[in-house]
C-alpha cells in the first residue's frame, strides 16, 4: 500500500527535525511557550564530525571529579590561567569535541 | 528516550534559573549541564515545572496531556530528576592510591627568580623569591624536575613544561638545555608521553637565538601587555622605572612575524579596567594568538596585600570583558576567561574543585627545588609540597587537605549553591590567601570573594546565554513550524 505523499510543509518539518536533531536541539512549542534544548560544546559536533580535531598542544590538567562517559583526552581545565592560555587557548571546545568524537 | 520512573520526579537542587529580557528563561541543572532555553512563556513554564514536580510520566500525561513533550524535555535535561536520585559528588579521598597519577601536568620551572621589571602588582615577593640574591635554577634541578614529572605522568598523558620566573629569559641558557634534554633524553625514553613547551616572559629582552629555538621546539609564548603604551607603562615599568612598552611590543611583533605563537595577557587593575575592549582590540592589532584578561592577584608570595586603590572594580571589569566578548573582537575560543570557562560547561563535566592545583597538576618548582601547587602560592610555607631534590616531595597531606577542605560539598560558602558543580568553587587563591586575615581591608576581602565567586558565576552565565542565543539563531535560521506542536493549548497557564 502506498502511503500518502508528504506535503511540502511535512517534508520541511521532517528535514527541520533532522537538522535540529543533528544539532542536538529539541524544540517544543505551544501557544503559551517555546522551549528548546541549548546546543552545548561537544554535543552537536560529535554527531556530525568524525575527524579528530584535537589540538596536540592542549595541556590537560583535569579538575574533573567524574569523567564524562567518553573521557576526553584533553580537558582544558588547567589549574591556572597562565597554563591555560599558553597551552589550551587554541580551541578548548574543539579539543574536547574531537576527543569525544574520536572515541564515539 | 523517556526514562520510566514510577516514583515521580523532583526538581533538581542544582537547578539554576537565569532570566533575561521580558520573557526568556534559561534552566540549567549544573550537575548535568544540559540547558533548556525558554524563549517564550517564562512564567507559564515556571508554573508548569512547579506543577509537574512529584508526578511520574503517566500522571503528568494525564494531568497535562498537551504539555507532555515539555515534561519529557524537563526530564531529558535533568531539570526534573527521579525523586530517588542523588546528585552529590562528595569525595572521600582524592588520592586513594597514595600517589599522584596525573593525566596532564603544567610544570612551572622558576628558571630565574629575579626580574628586570618592576610591575606595580608583582606577585613575586622580595623575601620569598629572594630577589636580592638573584637566584637562578641550575641544570641539576631543572633536569631532575622534568624527568620526575614526565615519569609521574600516566601513559598517554601530556606535560607542558613552562619556563617561568621572575623573568625566565634571564636564565635562557638553561631554558634551551631543558628543551634539549626533553627532546633528546626524555622523549625517546617515554615515547608514550607527550611533552610540549611554553614560556611566560615579559619579553623586554629577546635573546638572539630565541626565535630559532622557539620555532624548533614549537614553544608557545605568553606575554603580558596591559594595554596600549600609556596604560601598559603605568603598571609594567622596567626595573629602572623607564617605560617597557615599545621594547616589548617590538619583540612581540618580531616573534609573531616569525610564526611563533604569542598569546597576550592583560592583568586587570584599577588602571586599565575601564579600557578592556580597547585592550582586546590592541591585542588583536598586535596579532596575538589569544587574548586573556586576568584580574590582578591581591596578595603576593610574601603574603603582602596589594593597596586597595590598585584593585579593579569588579562590576566594571565584568561589564568590560563581557562587552569585549559580545563585540566579537576575538573568536570566543581565544578570549580568556571565556575560552577556559566554556570547558566547565561540557555536559558530564563536574568540577568538585575550581582547578587542578589541589590534584598536584600544576606544580611549580623553585630554583631551590621546592614545589608549590600553584604559581600564586609560591613561597607560602603552608602550601610547600616538599623538595624534589631531598625527596620530601610530594607531601600529599598538603594537597589532600586543600582538596578535601575546598571541595564544593565541604565549603560553607559553596555547599548550598546551585552553581557549585559548574564552577567547582572558582579560583582558590582568594580563599587560600585572604580569608581570615585580620589585616585585610574590607575592600580586599570583598575583591577576594568576588574573584572567587561572582567573577566565575557571571562569566559562566554569559557563556550560557551566548550558547542559548546561538541555538535560537540556528533554530530561527531554519525557519519552519515547530518540531512539536502537540501542545497547542495550555491547561495550566
Q: What is the pLDDT of residues B164-173, one digit of tens each?
A: 988 999 999 9
| B3 found inside a domain | no
Q: Are residues B277 and B181 in the same domain?
A: yes
Task: Please tell me which residue of chain B has the smallest CA distance to A63.
Answer: B356
> Among partner residues B199, B336, B353, which is closest to A85 by beta-carbon distance?
B336
Tally of residues, chain A: 104
Q: Among B367, B388, B403, where does a domain finish?
A: B403
Q: Are residues B209 and B232 in the same domain?
A: yes
Task: Locate the DSSP E strands across B259-317.
Answer: 262-268, 290-295
Q: Are residues B183 and B221 in the same domain?
A: yes
Render B168-205 in DSSP notation, one character per residue.
GGGGHHHHHHHHHHIIIIIHHH-TTSEEEEEEE---SS
Q: Are residues B286 and B353 in the same domain?
A: yes
Say if B126 is an interface residue toward chain A (CB within 8 Å): no
CA distances B68 to B24, B64, B376, B486, B491, Å, are 21, 6, 51, 9, 12
In this prediction, the answer to ipTM > 0.95 reads no
| B95 found inside a domain | no
> Among partner residues B263, B373, B471, which is closest to A86 by beta-carbon distance?
B263
CATH number of the domain that residue B325 is part of: 3.20.20.70
Say if B73 is an interface residue toward chain A (CB within 8 Å): yes
Of B327, B221, B207, the residue nearest B264 (C-alpha): B221
Q: Are residues B431 and B373 in the same domain?
A: no
CB contact under 8 A, A39 and B347: no
- Is-contact B105 B160, C-beta < 8 A? yes
| B98 found inside a domain | no
| B245 found inside a domain | yes
| pTM for this prediction | 0.82
Q: Among B403, B433, B449, where does a domain finish?
A: B403
Distance from B17 to chain A by nearest Cα, in Å? 14
State the cell numbers at B393: 616531595
Q: Are residues B359 and B244 in the same domain?
A: yes
Residues 6 or more apart from B442 whose CB is under 8 A from it? none
- Is-contact A34 A27, C-beta < 8 A? yes
Which of helix, strand or coil describes residue B137? coil
State the cell numbers at B404: 578535601
Number of folded domains that form chain B: 3
| B355 found inside a domain | yes
| B487 found inside a domain | yes
State the cell numbers at B10: 523532583
Of B146, B149, B187, the residue nearest B163 (C-alpha): B146
Chain-centroid distance of CA B337 in Å reads: 7
pLDDT of residue B6: 66
Question: Residue B67 phi/psi, 5° resolution?
Answer: -125, 20
Q: Are residues B448 and B398 in the same domain?
A: no
Q: Are residues B76 and B164 in the same domain?
A: no
Distance from A9 to chain B by nearest Cα, in Å? 8
Q: Are residues B204 and B272 in the same domain?
A: yes
pLDDT of residue B426: 84
| B231 found inside a domain | yes
User: The cell 608514550 sits on which residue?
Assistant: B192
pLDDT of residue B359: 85
Q: Are residues B73 and B140 in the same domain?
A: no
Interface subset of B 393-452, CB within 8 angstroms of A: 407, 424
Residues of chain A positioned with their CB less than 8 A from the CB of B351: 63-65, 77
CA-CA-CA-CA torsion for B295, B296, B297, B299, nearest 10 degrees? -150
Q: Are residues B242 and B339 in the same domain?
A: yes
Q: Are residues B147 and B287 in the same domain?
A: yes
Identify the bridge partners of residue B25 per DSSP, sorted by sequence position: B19, B38
Distance from B319 to chain A by nearest Cα, in Å? 20
Mark the ranges of chain B whose per-residue pLDDT is less than 70. Answer: 1-6, 348, 478-493
Rounded to whole angstroms, the Cα distance separating B121 from B323 reads 25
Which of helix, strand or coil describes residue B234? helix
pLDDT digits (tens, 9 = 90+) for A47-84: 322 222 222 233 333 333 223 333 333 443 333 222 33
Rounded to whole angstroms, the Cα distance separating B41 from A57 reads 45
Counting Cα atoms < 13 Å in the Cβ hemisphere of B167 gives: 19
Is B9 exposed, middle or buried (CB count within 10 Å of its CB: 0-12, 13-18, 19+)?
Answer: buried
**Structural domain boundaries, residue B208:** 104-403
| B96 found inside a domain | no
Strands B104-112 and B364-365: parallel
Amino acid at each position: 500500500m502506498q502511503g500518502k505523499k508528504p506535503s511540502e510543509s511535512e517534508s520541511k518539518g521532517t528535514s527541520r527535525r533532522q537538522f535540529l536533531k543533528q544539532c542536538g536541539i529539541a524544540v517544543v512549542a505551544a501557544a503559551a511557550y517555546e522551549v528548546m534544548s541549548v546546543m552545548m560544546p561537544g554535543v552537536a559536533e560529535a554527531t556530525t564530525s568524525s575527524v579528530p580535531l584535537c589540538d596536540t598542544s592542549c595541556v590537560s590538567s583535569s579538575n574533573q571529579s567524574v569523567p564524562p562517559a567518553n573521557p576526553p583526552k584533553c580537558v582544558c581545565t588547567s589549574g591556572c590561567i597562565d597554563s591555560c592560555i599558553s597551552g589550551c587557548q587554541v580551541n578548548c571546545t574543539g579539543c574536547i569535541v574531537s576527543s569525544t568524537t574520536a572515541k564515539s | 528516550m523517556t526514562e520510566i520512573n514510577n516514583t515521580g520526579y523532583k526538581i533538581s537542587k542544582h537547578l539554576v534559573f537565569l532570566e533575561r529580557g521580558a520573557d526568556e528563561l534559561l534552566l540549567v541543572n549544573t550537575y548535568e549541564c544540559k540547558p533548556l532555553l525558554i524563549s517564550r512563556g517564562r512564567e507559564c513554564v515556571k508554573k508548569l515545572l512547579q506543577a509537574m514536580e512529584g508526578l511520574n510520566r503517566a500522571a503528568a500525561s494525564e494531568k497535562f496531556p498537551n504539555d507532555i513533550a515539555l515534561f519529557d524535555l524537563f526530564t531529558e535535561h535533568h531539570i526534573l530528576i527521579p525523586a530517588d536520585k542523588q546528585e552529590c559528588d562528595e569525595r572521600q579521598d582524592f588520592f586513594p592510591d597514595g600517589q599522584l597519577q596525573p593525566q596532564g601536568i603544567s610544570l612551572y620551572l622558576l628558571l630565574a627568580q629575579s626580574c628586570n621589571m618592576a610591575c606595580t602588582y608583582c606577585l613575586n615577593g622580595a623575601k620569598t623569591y629572594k630577589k636580592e640574591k638573584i637566584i637562578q635554577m641550575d641544570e641539576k634541578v631543572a633536569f631532575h624536575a622534568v624527568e620526575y614529572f614526565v615519569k609521574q605522568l600516566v601513559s598517554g598523558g601530556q606535560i607542558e613544561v613552562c619556563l617561568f620566573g621572575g623573568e625566565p629569559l634571564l636564565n635562557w641558557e638553561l631554558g634551551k638545555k631543558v628543551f634539549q634534554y626533553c627532546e633528546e633524553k626524555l622523549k625517546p625514553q617515554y615515547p608514550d608521553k607527550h611533552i610540549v613547551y611554553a614560556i611566560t616572559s615579559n619579553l623586554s629582552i629577546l635573546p638572539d637565538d630565541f626565535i630559532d629555538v622557539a620555532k624548533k621546539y614549537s614553544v608557545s609564548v605568553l606575554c603580558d601587555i596591559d594595554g596600549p603604551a600609556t596604560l601598559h607603562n603605568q603598571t609594567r615599568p622596567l626595573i629602572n622605572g623607564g617605560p617597557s612598552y615599545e621594547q616589548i611590543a617590538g619583540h612581540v611583533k618580531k616573534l609573531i612575524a616569525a610564526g611563533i605563537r604569542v598569546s597576550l595577557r592583560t592583568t586587570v587593575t584599577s588602571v586599565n579596567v575601564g579600557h578592556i575592549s580597547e585592550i582586546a582590540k590592541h591585542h588583536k592589532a598586535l596579532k596575538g594568538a589569544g587574548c586573556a584578561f586576568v584580574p590582578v592577584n591581591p596578595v603576593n608570595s610574601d603574603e603582602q596585600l596589594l593597596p586597595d586603590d590598585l584593585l579593579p572594580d569588579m562590576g566594571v571589569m565584568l561589564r568590560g570583558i563581557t562587552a569585549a566578548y559580545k563585540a566579537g573582537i576575538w573568536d570566543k575560543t581565544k578570549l580568556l576567561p571565556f575560552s577556559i570557562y566554556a570547558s566547565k560547561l561540557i555536559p558530564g563535566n563536574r568540577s568538585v574543585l575550581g582547578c587542578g592545583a589541589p590534584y598536584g597538576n600544576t606544580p611549580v618548582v623553585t630554583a631551590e627545588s621546592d614545589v608549590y601547587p600553584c604559581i600564586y602560592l609560591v613561597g607560602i610555607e603552608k602550601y610547600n609540597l616538599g623538595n624534589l631534590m631531598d625527596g620530601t616531595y610530594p607531601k600529599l597531606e598538603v594537597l589532600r587537605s586543600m582538596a578535601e577542605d575546598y571541595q564544593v560539598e565541604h565549603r560553607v560558602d559553596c555547599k548550598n549553591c546551585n552553581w557549585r558543580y559548574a564552577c567547582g568553587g572558582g579560583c582558590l587563591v582568594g580563599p587560600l590567601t585572604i580569608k581570615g586575615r585580620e589585616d585585610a581591608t574590607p575592600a580586599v576581602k570583598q575583591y577576594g570573594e568576588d574573584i572567587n565567586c561572582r567573577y566565575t558565576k557571571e562569566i559562566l552565565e554569559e557563556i550560557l546565554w551566548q550558547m542559548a542565543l546561538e541555538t535560537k539563531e540556528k533554530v530561527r535560521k531554519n525557519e519552519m513550524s515547530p518540531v512539536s506542536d502537540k501542545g497547542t493549548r495550555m491547561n495550566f497557564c
